[in-house]
Amino acid sequence: MKHDGLARWAGPAGLAFAISVLAQNLFAQAAHIEPKNDANGATIVAKFADQAGATGTLVGWVALNMVILGVFLAAAYSRFRTTGPGWSRLALIGGIMLMALEPLVNVPLIVLAVNGDKLADSPRLAEVLWQLHLAIFGYEGIALGLTLLGVTMAAVAAGHAPRWFGSLATLGAASLVLASTLVQPITDGSAVTFVGAIGFVIWLVVLAVISVNLWRQAPRESEVIPAHI
């Protein structure tokens, strides 16, 4: 089976994305960048004024991750489009949704970090920006759930993952989509985001395993279609 040159990068890009996202989240937790979901305006303003530098690092990291995700999605689609065309399209659609939503999730954080002093007299505006962040974050579960399900099922169809991964991915996708249906209480300050945490962990584990398998079974040189520039 012939593949384009990008297909060989599916494994490395997927593994790099999984590791980078894990490290990004550990950094955010260690730096205590974000306030609690139900924080008041004064607390939000103070938190982002104090964490402006860490917030800048975080949003820049997110931008890098979106580049890696784009490479993975394109390469994975090239690998899976013949053995699991429907699932690979679902993964691509979910991934594109995720790439669109992720920057939007972080825009309010950038505004809060840059305008910390200016928002000191407008705590209600800070609350609205924080709620906007939470609302968009809540909807990310739909995109991530579709990506998880599509990538996993396509990998199973192509023989790059055991069949029971399909059940695991279904569980993870269901928890992510369920979390998105709770977007209003999340925006209102509830801590129900933990519902989607199961799916997020499953996503990282499944992605890492599938990526390693893709890397090990990367197309040989003779199977790569030469690029004509």
Q: What global pTM score does this model have? A: 0.89
- Tens digits of residue pLDDT in 201-211: 999 999 999 99
pLDDT class for 83, splitting at 50, 70, 90? confident
Whether pLDDT at 125 is above 70: yes
Written as six digits, the tokens of 124 are: 């209600």
Residues 6+ apart with CB under 8 A from 143: 94, 95, 97, 98, 100, 101
Whether pLDDT at 227 is above 90: no
Instruction: Quote the pLDDT of residue 220.
Output: 54
Instruction: Quote the pLDDT of residue 82.
Output: 87
Whether pLDDT at 229 is above 50: no
Residue 175 in contact with residue 119, Cβ under 8 Å?
Answer: no
Cα 92–chain centre separation: 13
pLDDT class for 136, splitting at 50, 70, 90? very high
Q: Is 61 helix (H, G, I), strand (E, B) or coil?
A: helix
